[in-house]
Chain A
Amino acid sequence: MSEFDKEVRRLFPSTRFEEANKGEVVVKADDTEIPALAQRLKEQRFSLMLLFAMEDFNGANGITLWYVFEKEGFEEILVIQAAMKESMESIAAIFPPAYLYEREIMDGFGVAFARAFDQRRLFLHEAYPEGFHPLLRSFRNMHIKAKKAISLSEEYPFKEVKGHGVYQIPVGPVHAGIIPPGHFRFSVIGETIFNLEIRHFWKHRGIEKLAEGMAPEEGLLLAQGICGDEAIANALAYCMAIEKICAIHVPSRAEHIRALFAEMERVYSLLGDIAGMVVDVAYPLGASPFFILREEMLRWNEALSGSRFLKGAMKIGGMAHDVQPAALSELSRYLGSFYSRFTEGINGILSSSMVVDRFETTGVVKKELVLPLHLSGPIARASGIHADVRVQHPYGLYQQIAPSNKVTEEGDVLARFRVKAATIKDSVGIIKRIIASLPSGKMCAEYRLHDGHAFSLVESSRGQNIHFISLGNGKIERYKVRTASFCNWNAIEHAVLGNIVPDFPLINKSMNLSYEGNDL
């Protein structure tokens, strides 16, 4: 019995434990117990990773709620299953991110959470008719009648901040630049931001519904399309979940190439973040080295995988194609010059006092917020919490190669800039090590599909992505994805407080959260 098991058993002496996959501790609970359990878990510094619902799980009628928790220092995750009766007590007051999950479930399944402080719709905007709940099994590609006109009382109620000199700035969902849609409602006094409320899901694609009934191979294409610059991360998580269900052993060479691509994705994605931060303080000259390096990395992606954004590289049981050994050794040589050019570029930025002046003390994410809001990735590491799935829940090759992450305490834009730069450097080192130690062998394992369900966790460039897949009769029964952006968007609402409006784009860019990863 593992340490985590013991810890959980101590917390729940009288609960039933379920058979589960390796790395998951599953507890069945009654719906009435949930708030008390949540309270106890919070006291033990557990953090809510995911909350979702599933209809007719294991032949049971009705909706089962899945509460997924993790605790710092433990590899395993805790899953609490609770059958839902008419209504469930909200735990949003205990675990703040639950206010999003619960609203998501309310929209998807048409159930209610009692005593939830936020009962507004989430991804179903005003134009959707009443009684439309797409995640129910009974709903099958019906034509829906969108509302033509929205009356004033039906409009989405934003939090109102009243007072002398407070006024609102609505921004988006259509922006001046070419970026995805999102609505930002600022309440400001002069230029100082007093409150910010973000509203998303303008391009909700219904990925979870689309996946229902798909064959696993088909679903992989869906997974890699979740978010453009997290194609590998999401495809990898998807494959890992299927492999866990079907007990597929991935060949060692394929594990290496998977980690290689995951790190290459991290590098090009974070390079874009860094360049964007510098552009947003209007210093394009300092940003151009990073744009050039990013383009070169994209070309390496193409040389190795055939796709600039590493799409189509992953396959259940391994990789779709092998890589050219000649290209790998060339890449290894290139990374030497990459490293020195990158370091030079970063030093150039950090020695520009005007840039540092803008970065410093801007958009601070307080350390105390990281755990309650379940922030992950560079944002958490910049605020003094060493959150990294590769370290905390090691998977694939990361069981052998551990990244050495930089953690800073300040939590401002400069800290995020430094953490992201350090992450790129570290990833480059990992890529070199992988190339040096690449074994030969098969690229893909043979496999037979089983029914079952599993969770998988990966570290994308933005933080922790969690996937859940349930297979029944060889098809996907339920697919639930939560990307790092879903939780991390909450960080912006807190980070901007007290900053001035013209600094918002910089704070936003320093996190560079994904709209697509949120609007599933």
Chain B
Amino acid sequence: MTIQLIDELIKVCMVLLVVLTALVISRRNLISLINTYALHSLVLSAIAFLFFLGEGANVFLYASILTIITKLWLIPALLKRTQKIMKIYTDLEYHYLHPTSSIFLSLFIVIIVFLAFSGIKDDLGLDPFNYFGVVMGFSLVLIGFMIIFSRIKIITKTIGYLVMENGVVLLSFFVGEMPFLIEVMVLMDLLALVAITSILGFGMNSSIEEFHKRLNPFRNWFKKVDEK
């Protein structure tokens, strides 16, 4: 494969990644939400593999394999199992955004990021290809944010978080500095793990508001301790 073709394919994958991210926000069924996330990670690992083909650096191959193992298999399987236990099938609650408007907002975010980065493009010394990757990666992070604040259920927030983390990974593919990337990945995955465990503990159906209710008894308990 020629370098040019690989670059083109990477671009296609990146756009798919953004589209899948936008799709996450429109999924109401939890199983398909998890599947969309798995697909998202698959595309990410494909990008890493294409990088490996293009640049030959082994670290991309490792990243690709690591992504497949953890995000295509481990995390979705864990989420699906929890979902089965909890018997919650759908998340119908949105804060501010509805599916169609979220897709348009995602598009808007891509354009804004594109324009924002065009000013510092030369300072960073990015060629058009890397520039596109940085734009897409950064958009992904922002869209992940959007998912987190627009959905109410913890499970969907977690998916938004995981998507955001994929964006960070994508960003670092283009900025280079792989050791830094690994560190971030581990950190992020740990956090994701914590989020998933909290779901296991508190139930899939819970929302942030419910946490307050559940934690309230403890506050009273602490008060009592103070009074003593």
Across-interface contacts of B92 in A (CB, < 8 A): 360-361
Q: Does B90 contact A (CB under 8 A)?
A: yes
Q: Does A357 contact B (CB under 8 A)?
A: yes
Q: How far is the CA of A351 from the CA of B32 in the complex (A)?
A: 8
Q: Which of B23-31, B56-64, B197-205 contacts A (4 or more CB under 8 A)?
A: B23-31
Across-interface contacts of B129 in A (CB, < 8 A): none
Across-interface contacts of B104 in A (CB, < 8 A): none
Across-interface contacts of A350 in B (CB, < 8 A): 89
Q: Does A198 contact B (CB under 8 A)?
A: no
Q: Which residues from 359 to 373 on chain A have a C-beta closer than 8 Å to any C-beta of chain B?
A: 360-361
Across-interface contacts of B32 in A (CB, < 8 A): 353
Q: How far is the CA of A350 from the CA of B89 in the complex (A)?
A: 9
Q: Does A356 contact B (CB under 8 A)?
A: yes
Q: How far is the CA of A357 from the CA of B92 in the complex (A)?
A: 10
* Centre residue among A350, A353, A357, A360 by max chain B CB count within 10 A: A353
Main secondary structure of the interface of A (DSSP, over half): helix
Across-interface contacts of A356 in B (CB, < 8 A): 29, 89-90
Report A348-391 CB contacts with B as 1/0, cut-off 8 Å: 00110100110011000000000000000000000000000000
Min CB distance B120 to A, Å, is 41
Across-interface contacts of A357 in B (CB, < 8 A): 28-29
Q: How far is the CA of A356 from the CA of B29 in the complex (A)?
A: 8
Give how many B residues have a beta carbon under 8 Å from the other chain's beta carbons.
Answer: 8
Q: Which residues from 51 to 110 on chain B have a C-beta closer than 8 Å to any C-beta of chain A?
A: 89-90, 92
Q: Which residues from 96 to 146 on chain B have a C-beta closer than 8 Å to any C-beta of chain A?
A: none
| Count class of interface residues, chain A | under 10
Min CB distance B208 to A, Å, is 23
- CB closest residue in chain B, given A356: B29
Min CB distance A356 to B, Å, is 5
Min CB distance A269 to B, Å, is 26
- CB closest residue in chain B, given A350: B89
Across-interface contacts of A361 in B (CB, < 8 A): 92
- CB closest residue in chain B, given A357: B28
Report A28-50 CB contacts with B as 1/0, cut-off 8 Å: 00000000000000000000000
Across-interface contacts of B89 in A (CB, < 8 A): 350, 356
Across-interface contacts of A353 in B (CB, < 8 A): 27-29, 31-32
Min CB distance B148 to A, Å, is 21
Min CB distance B97 to A, Å, is 18
- CB closest residue in chain B, given A355: B29
Min CB distance A367 to B, Å, is 19
Min CB distance A358 to B, Å, is 11
Across-interface contacts of B28 in A (CB, < 8 A): 353, 357, 360
Q: How far is the CA of A234 from the CA of B29 in the complex (A)?
A: 41
Q: Is the CB of B31 within 8 A of A351?
A: yes
Across-interface contacts of B90 in A (CB, < 8 A): 356, 360
Across-interface contacts of B29 in A (CB, < 8 A): 353, 356-357
- CB closest residue in chain B, given A351: B31
Q: How far is the CA of A485 from the CA of B27 in the complex (A)?
A: 36
Q: How far is the CA of A29 from the CA of B81 in the complex (A)?
A: 62
Min CB distance B40 to A, Å, is 16
Q: How far is the CA of A356 from the CA of B31 in the complex (A)?
A: 11
- CB closest residue in chain B, given A361: B92
- CB closest residue in chain A, given B28: A357
Q: Which residues from 55 to 112 on chain A have a C-beta closer than 8 Å to any C-beta of chain B?
A: none
- CB closest residue in chain A, given B36: A353
Min CB distance A361 to B, Å, is 7
Across-interface contacts of B27 in A (CB, < 8 A): 353
Min CB distance A57 to B, Å, is 53
Q: How far is the CA of A356 from the CA of B92 in the complex (A)?
A: 12
Report A331-357 CB contacts with B as 1/0, cut-off 8 Å: 000000000000000000011010011
Q: How far is the CA of A353 from the CA of B28 in the complex (A)?
A: 8
Q: How far is the CA of A357 from the CA of B29 in the complex (A)?
A: 7
Q: How far is the CA of A360 from the CA of B89 in the complex (A)?
A: 10
- CB closest residue in chain A, given B89: A356
Q: Which residues from 15 to 60 on chain B have a C-beta closer than 8 Å to any C-beta of chain A?
A: 27-29, 31-32
Min CB distance A357 to B, Å, is 6
Q: How far is the CA of A356 from the CA of B28 in the complex (A)?
A: 9
Q: How far is the CA of A57 from the CA of B129 in the complex (A)?
A: 93
Q: How far is the CA of A349 from the CA of B175 in the complex (A)?
A: 44
Contact residues of B with A, CB < 8 Å? 27-29, 31-32, 89-90, 92
In the A-B complex, the 4 residue pairs with the closest CB atoms: A353-B29, A353-B32, A351-B31, A356-B29
Would you mind naming 5 contact pairs between A and B with Cβ atoms under 8 Å apart?
A353-B27, A353-B28, A353-B29, A353-B31, A360-B90
